[in-house]
Amino acid sequence: MNLGAPVCCSRRCRASPAAAIGFYSSVLEEFQRLFQERLHHLNDFPDDEKLRIETADADIFAIYIKNLDAVYARTDKTLRACRLESTEANRNSPCESWDKDSKTGYFQFRGKVTLPFDFQDICRSMWQILHGLHQQDYQESYDAVDSPEDTLTRRVRRTIHLTSGGIASILRRLVIRRYEADGRMVLVWRMFTEGEGIFTGMHADETGWGVATAVKGSKTGTVLRTCVRNAPMHFSNTSARNHAVKQFGDELFEWGRENHEEARIGLERLLLTNM
């Protein structure tokens, strides 16, 4: 999921995949423990698949929701790592960069754009747009959250038609929280992706930051800065399925680009409609 800009600049985030994954090692360990428990207790309720799924969802959402404040606390450090610490307007030089490691499947996005719209209008519109993403995919919400007015959860499943003629699917559990302080709005999100079908055993963890700040000076405008990191996180041996692993990573990358474009176009249309 991204909220960002048109194209383009080539400077890359300095954070390495290992560094990004290292910070969230405690979360990854918690997920490993969770999945081991799920396997151990798989037969506790063999006749109630719905209960098993809902229990897993609740655990995963709880882990991510608990982690959001820590992600928010790293906002400024992340912006510096991505060389996006400046809040100066870049009206004539929008910046966007996608970087992908073809060997690991890790990818990251960074973007900065200045839009000629009022800061408060941008903040309201961004939050509204997020509620409408993934309309083409099957989705459900998870409502057991604190601060529901500032927290959005989604469980989204996308069916994929493979080049081999088969069908697989990808399940995403997304948590987004809005923070407003110090003259800016910060959106932070965590997303856990789980492969199904031939993608079974393949997972990914995404962390993102979207920061909106009013342009300084007399001209109306808002600076949007976005950083996203998506790391593979496989809990089973997938070494014998290299082709499927690559296809899984490619699907995540393309889905991320689609979400970014959908959010950007939707935001611009909504702002123009409300002018």
Q: What angle do CA 101, 135, 177 make, to 5 degrees?
A: 65
Nearest to 225 by CA among 32, 118, 40, 82: 82
Per-residue pLDDT at 10 exceeds 60? no
- Continuous segment of H or E residues that includes residue 46: none
What average pLDDT does the segment 28-51 reach? 50
What average pLDDT does the segment 216-224 reach? 87
For the chain, which domains are there? 17-273 (3.30.530.20)
Per-residue pLDDT at 271 exceeds 90? no
> Is residue 42 very low, low, confident or very high in pLDDT (cuts 50, 70, 90)?
very low
Per-residue pLDDT tens over the stretch 152-200: 998 888 888 887 778 889 999 999 999 999 999 999 999 999 999 889 8
Nearest to 230 by CA among 254, 204, 255: 204
What is the residue type of 162?
L
Task: Report the SS3 class of residue 221.
Answer: coil
Calculate the average pLDDT of the chain: 78
What average pLDDT does the segment 58-85 reach? 92
Please report where in the chains the tokens 């790391």 appear, as a residue.
231
User: Dihedral sign, CA of 128, 123, 72, 80?
Assistant: positive
What average pLDDT does the segment 105-110 reach? 88
What average pLDDT does the segment 38-45 reach? 46
Per-residue pLDDT tens over the stretch 121-136: 999 999 988 887 765 5
Strand partners of residue 234: none
What average pLDDT does the segment 211-225 reach? 91
